[in-house]
Amino acid sequence: MSTTSVQLPGWINYGVIPLINLMLALFFSGLVVWAIGENPFEALQLLVAGALGRGEGIGFTLFYTTSFIFTGLSVAVAIHAGLFNIGSEGQAYLGGLGAALVALSLDRYVPWYVTMPFAVIGAALFGAACAAIPAWLQAKRGSHIVITTIMFNFITSSLMNYVLVHLLIVPGKMAPETRTFLPGGQLPKLDWLIALFGGKLGAAPLNVSFLIALVMCFLVWVLIWRTKLGYEMRTLGISPSAAGYAGIPYAKIVMIAMLISGGLAGMMALNPVMGASGRLQIEFVGGAGFVGIAVSLMGRNHPAGIVLSALLFGILYQGGAELSFDMPSITRDMIVVIQGLVILFAGALEYMLRPAIVRLYQQVGGGK
């Protein structure tokens, strides 16, 4: 019997297989480090210590994790509806404009906790608006969502360059960025969270958007697995023909799924725009939208898995920066290679070992 038709327990699918793939990725990453003349065990120790060894490092790790949670959720929602949204980068970029306009409008008059809900809505609406046209083209004209969302990344980038350079730039300044938000437009740091574990946040920009990201994880879980809309999205994603026979409206579900996906990507902007820099800057997304694709795939498109995979990439980003400082021979490009190996084994080759694991599972009497 084909191993692809064998149902494995969840603890194997979502625990054992990803863990083995991660170990393989670390093994081959270690070979790369060894090949350039460095000790892979020392490199791993430095990477983990840089990301998790002190309060400030943990703060930076969770800061990166926050952005990856938002973009990972964005990709996952679309995937459940059978759509591959590669436009989270551009949607997050435009979401930054929505958040910034709210902050610039309200920061003089109200405290941050009044500005925050309006900023969340603004970021989500602008991110959803960026996803709306590709969604409509897919739903009504059959234009492939991958192509249109990729193109909208470039369109959004050009639009944001124009807005920052010609409309929102501070008069007399060369830097294409808005003015710094007043305290009423900035999200406070989570010093108390790190202090609970005896650490100090230091210069790390970990902020309230981390908590918002965790709330979004719960809401996405409720949406996908506890609502009629989520059932319709999953049905469409598994079998469009079956969804059609069941009377599930294709165009409506595509539009709703992509608008939610774009909204989640847009909310990612809260972290760097209102939390870290306190202003809207050029290219603030920094590739987080593309990392979200890997985060979603590694997390099996489930919010809990996305949190864990986002944390892994947060560790790689922060620990990698510390590692390249402590081991100059391991450059930033080498860190990207290591991240690529993690994506390769934990994402693209996630089922490479599945046939062998299925046979082993059957031999020990767990399957038929």
What is the average pLDDT value for the chain, to the nearest integer?
92
What total number of domains does the chain contain?
Answer: 2
Residue 240 lies in a domain: yes
Are 12 and 87 in the same domain?
A: no
Taking the mean position of all CA atoms in its chain, how far away is CA 226? 23
Specify the pTM. 0.93
Tokens matching residue 132: 């709306």
Q: What is the pLDDT of residue 324?
A: 86
> Rounded distance, CA 310 to CA 110, Å?
33
Are 248 and 365 in the same domain?
A: no
Are 253 and 287 in the same domain?
A: yes
161 φ/ψ angles, rounded to the nearest 5 degrees: -60, -45
Are 147 and 279 in the same domain?
A: yes
Q: What is the pLDDT of residue 2?
A: 57
Q: What residues make up the domain containing 31?
A: 1-38+329-368
Residue 324 lies in a domain: no
Q: What is the pLDDT of residue 362?
A: 82
Are 158 and 282 in the same domain?
A: yes
Tokens matching residue 171: 């008069």
Are 66 and 131 in the same domain?
A: yes
CB atoms closer than 10 angstroms to residue 205: 21
Q: What is the pLDDT of residue 242?
A: 94
pLDDT surpassing 80 at residue 4: no
Are 65 and 101 in the same domain?
A: yes
Mean pLDDT of 186-204: 93
Residue 50 lies in a domain: no
CB atoms closer than 10 angstroms to residue 9: 12
Are 306 and 334 in the same domain?
A: no
Q: Name the nearest CA neighbour of 11 among 300, 291, 204.
A: 300
Are 191 and 96 in the same domain?
A: yes
Please report which confidence band the pLDDT of residue 310 belongs to, taking 50, 70 and 90 as the band edges. Answer: very high
- The one-letter amino acid code at 203 reads A
Are 309 and 335 in the same domain?
A: no
Scanning the chain, the segments in alpha helix (DSSP H) are: 10-11, 17-35, 40-52, 55-80, 88-106, 112-136, 145-162, 191-195, 209-226, 228-238, 240-245, 250-267, 288-298, 303-326, 332-343, 354-363
CATH of the domain at 154: 1.10.3470
The distance in angstroms from the start CA to the end CA of the chain is: 10
